[in-house]
Amino acid sequence: MSSDSDATLLRRSIEQPDAFAELFDRHFPAVHRYLRRRLGDELAGELAAETFLQAFRSRGRFGDGSTGSVVAWLYGIAANLVRMNHRAEERRLRAYARAAGRQPSSEPEIAVADRLDARALGPALALALAELSPPLREVLVLHAWAELSHEEIAAALGCSATAVRTRLHRARAQVAAELGDRGGALLTDAEVNR
Amino acid sequence: VSELDNLLDRLGAALDEGLDEAARPAAARARARLAAAIAAGPDPTATPGPAHRATHGPPARIRRRIGRLRGHWPGALATGLTVAVAVTVLLLALGTGGHRSAAPAASVPSRLPLGSELNPSGPTGVIGSSVRLAVVVPDPEGSGPAWGLKTYRVRGGMTCFQAGREQDGRIGAVGAYGSYGDDGRFHPFTFSDVGFGTCVPSDARGHAFDNVAYANAPASASGEPCRTFPRGFPPHVLAAFRRRLAAQGHAADCRTANERLVAFGLLGPDATSLTYRTAHGTKTVRPRGPDGAYLIVEPVDQAVYCNNCGYTGGGGADGMSLPDGLIAAITYRHAPPCHAPPRTHDLATMLRYRPCRDVGFVAPYRPHITEADVASPVTVRVVSGPICVHGGIYRPAQLDITCPARVPPGYFRRRGGPETLVYITWRAREPVRNVNDSTYAYQIDNGCNGGGQGSSTQAVIRAGTIVTRDMQVFRSGQCRAPVTGSVVYVPVLGPNGQQAIAMASRRGAPGTYLVGRFSFTVPR
């Protein structure tokens, strides 16, 4: 692979479309993994391909002299496609929670045990994610799974970094609330660790 | 970075199961589409920005581009084609794909069925003699094949049940209502594809207990995602995009008329009747077979209140998970009937209510042992530094490590959080024959503010095995007190595999047996 930046490659691909192949090679695995986490095998393959097709066809819109992140732009396209399939995502998260076999319990002694066993929170967390509204879930997983900064998420979603921070805060609070006592304890633990 | 981020990391890693197998064909298909797009020249739907000069090269140049794109991935494309041909031949040879076939024979799933990841180290495979088409009911709209519920045992102490459309004794989905491109064919499920169903641990008598309900299941039984624009494309959707979406026949048309309320489950051998609510009153059905199987398929009607619909079972050690707005009552041979929770805000009525339980459940494994039978020295080793954790599916016996200079393959560096890891080692004197009915649990108290964490072995363990597990130590940097902990043996189990992990073993939790205690200080 060349050492050219993503933006350089993208601009070059306007006149030399084969340059886009390198962008594909660089970023397809991560975008596919991100989509697969959210939507499962079949849709992820389809939408990852669609993401790069749309990116290729609209590469001229990335803008002359743009300093924005190409990665954020790609995830922005992917986010638009995910949005149209949010019900599939919610089903997948619920299916995961079901398969993992441990649903959140209202029984106090089990709740305490689960709070102490972070691994046991996976299914409950999946359900909590499924309960989030699509815009809040989008911000949370772009941050946690795509590892985008607030600014990159803002670029991907076409909103301000302040709006991203606000949504991220609301998403975290809502997930913690969904996890009930255990979620609250997790946040407290996090505070302790700071 | 909060603990929530770390949990999200772990959830993401769990969802990545099988990523390697999925990534290569997906990349090959995407590359092929990209190559075709380049070969097609300028896209009429694209709206180039000011930098786009639309100077696509001559045909020879395009051919070179295609050559490059294809040249990068000939192996993947060839492999994909070979696999596709092989799968097609195999399917034809097996008589699948909508052809009539005899009753299903024993089979080994190509991967673990859903839910059996509870027992990753145990044997898997469907026990052929256990396969049973338990219930068949007609479609409420009289459209297409009937609906069916099939149960089968899986080695390792699990029972699976799959629901969907039924044809010739097989469960599957139909190519209708937008699914499978409306091809009109029957698409049978494999044993590994439980459809709307799941797998749960069997009890001591081999029976399983669980309840599942979906308020808006696709009428095709496909469980596929919905079509993007079921009521037609809005004007702003570009023509090319419409064509592509229309070509995606693999998507259900999720109009209410194309959905069903589907509820099913296993009530156990003692259940004699189940009464459920409909938009026009109630209906009563008789549970079938040794597992007390039932299947409800009704039109979607907002008048039917279905709490917990869209949420699957789980249950607890002594509770029962029911779609309680839908299910009104269950009767049993040798036990009082069970009724759905009252829909009231009256506290006295609510307090009088006794929730349904899994009548007939027999805990599969409750040995008569004492703590002397399981006692063992417990040793710990504490290491500090950035922590590398395993990617992919969670395997309890795979230990996290402190990161070397180069992160090893299969690991990823944990972001933030604690940088202390403890390895806990003991001798398992009592075996774990089935992870669904016993386990060793280990826990630590971080020494300050009452915090701590714990986990369990979740693996089959032979008697006498030296067991080592790791745990990350979460606590404030200001906390200097020693960390204390214990290991306990837990043969406790309830229906659906939910284990009461005995974190309170310091005080001797009922049903747990102390293996040993330990303590250590966290390096500064």
Confidence at residue B47, expressed as pLDDT on a 0 to 100 scale: 30
Examine the pLDDT at B108 and tell me if it is beyond 50: no
When pLDDT is averaged across residues B8-34 and rounded to a whole number, the result is: 75
Cα distance from A178 to chain B (closest Cα, Å)? 12
* Per-residue pLDDT tens digits for B250-270: 455 666 777 888 889 899 999
Other beta carbons within 10 angstroms of residue B60's beta carbon come to 8
Cα distance from B315 to chain A (closest Cα, Å)? 8
* Per-residue pLDDT tens digits for A45-84: 888 888 888 888 777 766 544 456 888 889 988 888 887 7
Closest by CA to B380, choosing from B440, B348, B427, B424, is B424
Examine the pLDDT at A104 and tell me if it is beyond 90: no
Encoding tokens for residue B160?
Answer: 């699976």
Interchain CB contact of B55 with A (< 8 Å): yes
Q: Which carries the bigger pLDDT value, residue B175 or residue B215? A: B175
Instruction: Provide the sign of the torsion angle of the four alpha carbons B493, B132, B212, A125, taken in this order.
Output: positive
Confidence at residue B125, expressed as pLDDT on a 0 to 100 scale: 66
Interchain CB contact of A4 with B (< 8 Å): no
* Per-residue pLDDT tens digits for B38-62: 655 543 333 322 222 222 222 222 2
Q: Which carries the bigger pLDDT value, residue B350 or residue A161? A: A161
* Per-residue pLDDT tens digits for A167-189: 888 888 888 887 765 444 444 33
> Which are the contacts of B60, defined by CB distance < 8 A and separation ≥ 6?
none
| B314 within 8 A of A103, measured Cβ to Cβ | yes
Interchain CB contact of B117 with A (< 8 Å): yes
Q: Which chain A residues contact residue B64 at CB under 8 A?
A: 18
Confidence at residue B467, expressed as pLDDT on a 0 to 100 scale: 94
What value does the mean pLDDT of chain B take?
68
What pLDDT band is residue B464 in, cutting at 50, 70 and 90?
very high
- Write the DSSP string, B295-345: EEEEE--TTS--TTTTEE----SS-----TTTEEEEEESSS--EEPPP---
Q: Which carries the bigger pLDDT value, residue B219 or residue B105? A: B219
Instruction: Kindly identify which residue of chain A lies nearest to residue B477, measuring between CA atoms.
Output: A193
CA A184 to chain centroid: 23
3-state secondary structure of A40: coil
Q: Judging by DSSP bridges, how do beta strands B271-278 and B259-266 pair with one another?
A: unpaired
**Phi, psi dihedrals of residue B200, rounded to the nearest 5°:** -135, 155
Cα distance from B511 to chain A (closest Cα, Å)? 13
Examine the pLDDT at A161 and tell me if it is beyond 80: yes
3-state secondary structure B343-359: CCCCHHHHHHCCCCCCC
Cα distance from B114 to chain A (closest Cα, Å)? 5
Confidence at residue B365, expressed as pLDDT on a 0 to 100 scale: 58
Helix axes A134-144, A122-131, angle to 10 degrees: 140
Interchain CB contact of B511 with A (< 8 Å): no
Separation of alpha carbons B390 and B505, rounded Å: 29
Q: Which of A53, A192, A194 to substitute to test the interface with B, most B CBs within 10 Å? A: A192
Indicate the pTM of the whole model. 0.45
Closest by CA to B374, choosing from B515, B501, B508, B469, is B515
| B441 within 8 A of B453, measured Cβ to Cβ | no
What pLDDT band is residue B450 in, cutting at 50, 70 and 90?
low
Q: How many residues does chain A have?
A: 194
What pLDDT band is residue B188 in, cutting at 50, 70 and 90?
confident
Cα distance from A52 to chain B (closest Cα, Å)? 7
Contact B64 A18 (CB under 8 A): yes
| Cα B37 to Cα A80, A124, A174, distances in angstroms | 20, 42, 42
What's the alpha-carbon Rg for chain B, to the nearest Å?
Answer: 28
What pLDDT band is residue B217 in, cutting at 50, 70 and 90?
confident
Examine the pLDDT at B25 and tell me if it is beyond 80: no
Q: Select, from the ranges A5-14, B159-168, B289-298, B360-369, the one with the highest average predicted confidence (pLDDT).
A: B289-298
Q: Which of A25, A38, A81, A116 to substitute to test the interface with B, most B CBs within 10 Å? A: A116
Separation of alpha carbons A163 and B209, rounded Å: 46
Contact A42 B250 (CB under 8 A): yes
Q: Which carries the bigger pLDDT value, residue A112 or residue B26? A: B26
3-state secondary structure of B256: helix
The answer for A 10-69 residues in CB contact with B (under 8 A) is: 11, 14-15, 17-18, 20-21, 24-25, 28-29, 32-33, 36-37, 39, 41-46, 48-50, 52-53, 56-64
| B45 within 8 A of A57, measured Cβ to Cβ | yes
Confidence at residue B146, expressed as pLDDT on a 0 to 100 scale: 94
What pLDDT band is residue B81 in, cutting at 50, 70 and 90?
very low
Encoding tokens for residue B230?
Answer: 């079921």
| Cα A134 to Cα A7, A40, A142, B230, B514, distances in angstroms | 29, 17, 12, 19, 46
Lowest mean pLDDT among A117-121, B297-301, B406-410: A117-121
Separation of alpha carbons A70 and B200, rounded Å: 45
